[in-house]
Structure 1
Amino acid sequence: MKLLLTGANGFVGQYVQAALPGVPLPAGLDLRAALDAAIAKIQPDTVIHLAAQSFVPASFENPRETFDINFYGTLNLLEALQSNAFKGRMLFVGSGDTYGRVPEADLPVREDHPLRPRNPYAVSKVAAEALCYQWSQTSSFEIVMARPFNHIGPGQSPRFAITDFARQVTEIRLGQHAPLLQVGDIDVTRDFTDVRDVVRAYTLLLEKGRNGGIYNVCSGREHSIRDLLQRLIALAGVEARIERDHARLRPAEQRRMVASFEALHRDTGWQPLIPMEQSLQDLLNDWEKQLQ
């Protein structure tokens, strides 16, 4: 089975490549460009569509570019697959951010919860997911859709809070930084899944997900950001003062978040296997290698 992987060079894409060696689109080929020739050359049997503009602040700065990449790039890909008589399965990777603000009474959030996107990135993912659902019903190939929540794991960009904390803690442990941790709003909760478990979910969805089916990819566990920071400090064996940096504060309207992976488990048997302690330790080990 030949797998076409978009977004192969991203954080998750690299883990997909390690687990399911796939063929990336040619280097430098933009999803917004004509893709017919590339698809004709690859002739894939399956597709995982990861490529996206996924940084929320950038989506506010340039919503049109975000929509061009995430919606029209997806449409371009679908049309290129169709024109090359693709008959396999595609996994579209959306986002748990599409739910928007979820009342605490509705947690854990399930796939039938209304979508109320609150930023241009989430809007683009809602639109692209709707497009993929339509194509799953009317085209010659099948499409399964994933809504992943927060990821964690080695190799993630320090633009993300837990990875940034792991970097700061490691710098303190190596004597490269004063024992002071700069943080934003850490008194919120989020649902984190190890990236390796996420990739395993994608593999199973490609194989066993229902055509037109939409699946949360999440741990089903609610983690306090403050608690994860304190666990990183304990694992590294350091002492550090925590200081709120106002430059890092973003308005977190969603104080608590946890989702349900019941549908994913029902259709594929998937459940998260990697404990949070291992994810955090692997993050610290990865930063130690990078910073030494």
Structure 2
Amino acid sequence: MKRILVTGAAGFVGQHALAALSAASGPADRILGIGRGSPDVLPERVAYETVDLLDEPALNACLAAFRPTDVLHLAAMASVQQSADAPGETWRVNLVGLLNLAEAVVRSAPGAGFLFVSSGEVYGRAFLSGRPLTEEAAPDPQGPYARSKWFGETILRDVLARTGVRLVILRPFNQVGAGQDERFVLPSFAGQIARIEAGLVPPVLEVGNLAAERDFLPVGDVVRAYAELIARGVDIADGSVFNVASGRPRSIASVVSDLRRHARVAFEVRVAADRMRASEIPVAAGDATRLRTATGWTPRGDWDAAIADVLEHARARLGRPGP
């Protein structure tokens, strides 16, 4: 019987992870999501508690009562731009909360598997090689978000060493799907298009660097990878690092073209200075061969369906869903 704890469970990826774990779990397994907000829907056989990782007494009480066999740690300041605007909060949430959780796991669940969701962003300037990176590439993180994730990996290697807690580090690349907020590129474009369709704004889509290429995956593929790694348990070696990536970068220009095919009205594309990053990495892509070898995982999500879902979600938020 597994007892799976998911942090950040009320967030975009967290809610998809709860659904994937529920679908993959056995009848005797238990799944508990924790977070600071409330999830929209709870899947079957999933419980939820409001717990802030910065509240040590509440967190320790939760872990002592649940005693997880597996921990999927998703809770974080997840937006690169938001982290740049609030670096102090980023470090507090992404590192202090992580340290509190790791110490609580050591005390209450010393034999657990700890899956830390880091980020493909940790590679940073290593992407300048221009090729999809394997886990052997030396991280060179840029900015508070990426650096906090890299330091999180380092902290866990120290804190969990020789405790019996099995550490697995996951480096997902760009995830897309319905429910992601407009701090991320695809839902930002979709939200603008939905407002254009509704006649709320002029027919102009504001964009940043259209030449940049990024490795996108439907969020369902990403959380399926997490569920498959949890299912394999002790077969996954302590200290393992896995990219979760498609290996096929897409230009931001192609993303705009894909969205245009699903739009109900024509619109102009305009580059906005405030959407340009000071130091843009031209191409960022990952090689997930190691994950494929360990679990058999391969991306199988429908990109066009994911695009359509994100746009339809943006319309629904305005109260104007499609037929």
Fold in common (TM above 0.5): yes
Partner of 1:14: 15
Partner of 1:149: 173
Measured in 1, the distance between the counterparts of 2:263 and 2:127 equals: 36
Identical counterparts, % of pairs: 36
Contact 2:18 2:33 in 1 (8 A): no
Measured in 1, the distance between the counterparts of 2:13 and 2:56 equals: 23
Measured in 1, the distance between the counterparts of 2:311 and 2:92 equals: 36
Shift of 1:77: 1.1
CA RMSD in angstroms comes to 1.9
In the alignment, structure 1 residue 131 sits paired with structure 2 residue 162: no
Partner of 2:269: 242
Three-state SS of the structure 2 residue aligned to 1:143 is strand
In the alignment, structure 1 residue 24 sits paired with structure 2 residue 33: yes
Provide closer, same or farther for how the CA distance between residues 245 and 253 of structure 1 changes in structure 2, counting only shifts above 3 A. Answer: closer
In the alignment, structure 1 residue 102 sits paired with structure 2 residue 126: yes
Match of 1:280 among 307, 315, 321: 307
Shift of 1:109: 0.9
Shift of 1:30: 3.2
Contact 2:114 2:167 in 1 (8 A): yes
Measured in 2, the distance between the counterparts of 1:205 and 1:142 equals: 12
Partner of 2:142: 118
Contact 2:105 2:112 in 1 (8 A): no
Three-state SS of the structure 2 residue aligned to 1:91 is strand
Measured in 1, the distance between the counterparts of 2:266 and 2:88 equals: 45
Which amino acid is the alignment partner of residue 133 of structure 1?
R
Shift of 1:171: 2.6
Greater shift, 250-259 or 88-97, is seen at 250-259
Measured in 2, the distance between the counterparts of 1:270 and 1:185 equals: 32
Which amino acid is the alignment partner of residue 228 of structure 1?
V
Shift of 1:215: 0.5
Measured in 1, the distance between the counterparts of 2:7 and 2:88 equals: 21
Partner of 1:169: 193
Three-state SS of the structure 1 residue aligned to 2:287 is coil
Measured in 2, the distance between the counterparts of 1:12 and 1:120 equals: 20
Provide closer, same or farther for how the CA distance between residues 104 and 117 of structure 1 changes in structure 2, counting only shifts above 3 A. Answer: closer
1:173-252 paired onto structure 2 within 5 Å: 173-208=197-232, 209-252=236-279
Three-state SS of the structure 2 residue aligned to 1:102 is helix
Shift of 1:137: 4.2
Shift of 1:266: 0.7
Which amino acid is the alignment partner of residue 13 of structure 2?
V
Partner of 2:316: 289
Which amino acid is the alignment partner of residue 52 of structure 1?
A
Measured in 1, the distance between the counterparts of 2:19 and 2:109 equals: 28
Three-state SS of the structure 1 residue aligned to 2:126 is coil
Which amino acid is the alignment partner of residue 264 of structure 1?
L
Provide closer, same or farther for how the CA distance between residues 85 and 108 of structure 1 changes in structure 2, counting only shifts above 3 A. Answer: closer
Measured in 2, the distance between the counterparts of 1:187 and 1:40 equals: 50
Measured in 1, the distance between the counterparts of 2:87 and 2:135 equals: 26
Shift of 1:240: 1.1
Unaligned runs of 5+ in 2: 23-30, 35-48
Give TM-score, length-normalised by structure 1.
0.93
Shift of 1:200: 0.3
In the alignment, structure 1 residue 42 sits paired with structure 2 residue 66: yes
Greater shift, 168-177 or 253-262, is seen at 168-177
Q: Deviations over 1:2-34 (max 9, x none)?
A: 211110111100111222243123425233533
Partner of 2:284: 257
Shift of 1:106: 5.0
Shift of 1:58: 3.9
Q: Deviations over 1:184-211 (max 9, x none)?
A: 2222110001111100011112233332
Provide closer, same or farther for how the CA distance between residues 285 and 61 of structure 1 changes in structure 2, counting only shifts above 3 A. Answer: closer
Measured in 2, the distance between the counterparts of 1:2 and 1:85 equals: 10
Measured in 2, the distance between the counterparts of 1:211 and 1:161 equals: 34
Contact 1:102 1:254 in 2 (8 A): no
Contact 2:215 2:284 in 1 (8 A): yes
Give TM-score, length-normalised by structure 2.
0.84
Shift of 1:165: 0.9
Contact 1:11 1:156 in 2 (8 A): yes
Q: Deviations over 1:107-140 (max 9, x none)?
A: 1111111111111221211111122234554111
Measured in 1, the distance between the counterparts of 2:218 and 2:283 equals: 19
